[in-house]
């Protein structure tokens, strides 16, 4: 039997019995105007980490919403409307006006609104089960390994683990191991003494010490050079780091969350990853499926991106049913990042329209799938192809050569590096730079 819940209808003073699930504060009208929506949505949310943060209401005044926000919660004002909308403002609550005849879309919008503040957006059973497991893991101190394709939300999940852990008041530090040259990565991770190498005019503590008492996300851990993997292993085993140029190690208290778009067991077999480091990280792996394999997340994620990017006047305030159906049939080779691109594009194309319609949905049609295990590539964006400076021209030319060689080798990085006469490590660094410039939507394993 559901316990009593407090309601905040206007003045936040009523108390009623009702079917609304426990742990959710509500401010709905006593008639239960929104009970159907709430009762079909709350079971799709997480446990206390999400439900305890939500205050639902109708006709919620800005001062009330501001007070709720100061308490660390999310205020959502619910209402019925023939023209649905999901909007937010700096001083007021998130307002969800929905058509009761289209409850699936309203449910997706409510899930999106409830995740504000950087929390995961999940409506698919797979994702909900994953978050439940991650919540249990967060309460422990073991390392976490996140595996999944590029753009599936591994950093969001890492932050989720941190925020639910006993280290939530400590720092959360993230580093992309593929985005830094090898010579800089060791100093970046472990720190260095003054004068340890040319250019080291000042000492630096390194990211491990910066994350002391908190969590360190090592993104793209599969790109970590073998020489640094052994030093990483010792840090994880002994809880200490040895800065460059130092003679004595320094103790650190850091929880490591490692993320990779590679299958590390395969990397071990290929000799590119240390088996003992894999065992140290792989205490409890979490695998994030590709977006196409969790279709129940597409609509909530689309509404979350609409809420994030369409706050300006004149922008669409809703995603139409036909547009959502179109999104749900797309294969999403670029995963969540590609979905965000599509929604941002639709917002611009739909400027002045009340909702995003199918004609506003433009997919990345330039994307072409390479062979399995290869890369998904797109044509260089206009700011690269139309480059004027010499450095931009050189970058565009190099990028084109890499993409063409990668395609001719079926996406195999090792073969591509040999063909270009560079090391595989250099190729990985170049690919990371190209992804940052928007030249690639995804990269597979070599």
pLDDT digits (tens, 9 = 90+) for 339-389: 999 999 999 999 889 999 999 999 875 434 333 344 444 444 444 444 445
Q: Which of 108, 123, 138 is the last residue of a domain?
A: 123
- 2 occurs within a structural domain: yes
- 311 occurs within a structural domain: yes
The whole-chain average pLDDT of the chain stands at: 81
DSSP 8-state secondary structure symbol assigned to residue 317: -
Q: Between the CA of residue 143 and those of 138, 275, 276, 282, 364, what are the distances in Å?
A: 10, 16, 14, 7, 36
| Nearest CA among 295, 301, 314, 326 for reference residue 113 | 301
What tens digit of pLDDT does each residue of 102-136 get? 999 999 999 999 998 889 999 999 999 999 999 99
- 369 occurs within a structural domain: no
2 and 131 together in one domain: no
> Could you tell me the CATH number of the domain that includes residue 344?
1.10.8.60
Which token pair is 366? 């330039």
Specify the pLDDT at position 330.
93
DSSP 8-state secondary structure symbol assigned to residue 356: B
Residue 355 to residue 346: CA distance in whole angstroms = 10
For CA atoms 244, 250, 254, 258, the dihedral sign is: positive
What tens digit of pLDDT does each residue of 321-335 get? 999 999 999 999 999
What tens digit of pLDDT does each residue of 198-223 get? 777 788 888 999 999 999 999 999 98
Return the axis-axis angle of helices 321-328 and 335-349, rounded to nearest 10°.
150
pLDDT tops 90 at residue 278: yes
282 and 170 together in one domain: yes
pTM value is 0.76
The per-type count for the chain, helices as H runs and strands as E runs, is 18, 16
Express as a percent the part of the chain with pLDDT over 90.
48
DSSP letters, 16-35, are E--SSPTT-EEE--TT-TTH
Q: Which of 102, 123, 144 is the last residue of a domain?
A: 123
Higher pLDDT, 267 or 192: 267
Which structural domain range is residue 176 located in? 125-287
Looking at the structure of the chain, the number of domains it has is 4
Which token pair is 373? 């295990």
Higher pLDDT, 378 or 320: 320
Tokens 């209402």: give the residue. Answer: 79
pLDDT tops 80 at residue 395: no
Q: Which of 272, 287, 302 is the last residue of a domain?
A: 287
């Amino acid at each position: 039997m559901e316990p009593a819940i407090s309601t905040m209808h206007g003045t936040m003073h009523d108390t009623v019995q009702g079917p609304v699930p426990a742990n959710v504060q509500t401010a709905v009208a006593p008639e239960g105007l929104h009970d159907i929506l709430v009762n079909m949505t709350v079971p799709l949310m997480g446990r206390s980490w999400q439900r305890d943060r939500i205050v639902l209401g109708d006709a919620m005044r800005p001062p009330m919403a501001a007070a709720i926000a100061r308490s660390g919660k999310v205020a959502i004002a619910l209402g019925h409307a023939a023209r649905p909308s999901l909007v937010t403002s700096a001083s007021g609550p998130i307002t969800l006006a929905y058509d009761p005849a289209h409850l699936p879309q309203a449910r997706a919008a409510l899930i999106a609104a409830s995740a504000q503040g950087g929390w995961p957006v999940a409506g698919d059973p797979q994702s909900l089960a994953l978050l439940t497991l991650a919540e249990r893991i967060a309460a422990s101190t073991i390392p976490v390994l996140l595996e999944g394709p590029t753009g599936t939300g591994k950093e969001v999940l890492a932050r989720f683990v941190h925020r639910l852990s006993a280290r939530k008041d400590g720092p959360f530090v993230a580093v992309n191991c593929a985005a830094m040259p090898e010579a800089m990565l060791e100093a970046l991770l472990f720190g260095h003494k003054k004068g340890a190498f040319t250019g080291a005019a000042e000492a630096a503590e390194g990211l491990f010490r910066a994350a002391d008492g908190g969590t360190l996300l090592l993104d793209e851990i599969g790109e970590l050079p073998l020489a640094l993997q052994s030093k990483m292993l010792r840090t994880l085993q002994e809880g200490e780091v040895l800065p460059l140029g130092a003679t004595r190690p320094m103790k650190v208290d850091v929880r490591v969350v490692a993320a990779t778009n590679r299958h590390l067991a395969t990397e071990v077999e290929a000799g590119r990853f240390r088996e003992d480091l894999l065992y140290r990280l792989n205490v409890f792996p979490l695998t994030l499926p590709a977006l196409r394999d969790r279709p129940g997340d597409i609509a909530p994620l689309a509404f979350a991106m609409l809420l994030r990017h369409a706050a300006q006047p004149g922008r669409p305030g809703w995603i139409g049913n036909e547009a959502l159906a179109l999104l749900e049939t797309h294969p999403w080779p670029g995963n969540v990042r590609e979905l965000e691109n599509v929604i941002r594009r639709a917002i611009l194309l739909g400027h002045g329209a009340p909702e995003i319609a199918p004609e506003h949905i433009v997919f990345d049609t330039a994307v072409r799938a390479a062979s399995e295990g290869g890369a998904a590539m797109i044509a260089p964006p206009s700011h690269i192809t139309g480059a004027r400076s010499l450095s931009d021209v050189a970058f565009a030319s190099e990028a084109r050569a890499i993409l063409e060689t990668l395609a001719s080798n079926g996406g195999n990085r090792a073969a591509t590096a040999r063909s270009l006469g560079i090391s595989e490590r250099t190729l990985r660094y170049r690919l990371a730079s190209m992804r940052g410039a928007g030249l690639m939507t995804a990269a597979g394993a070599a």
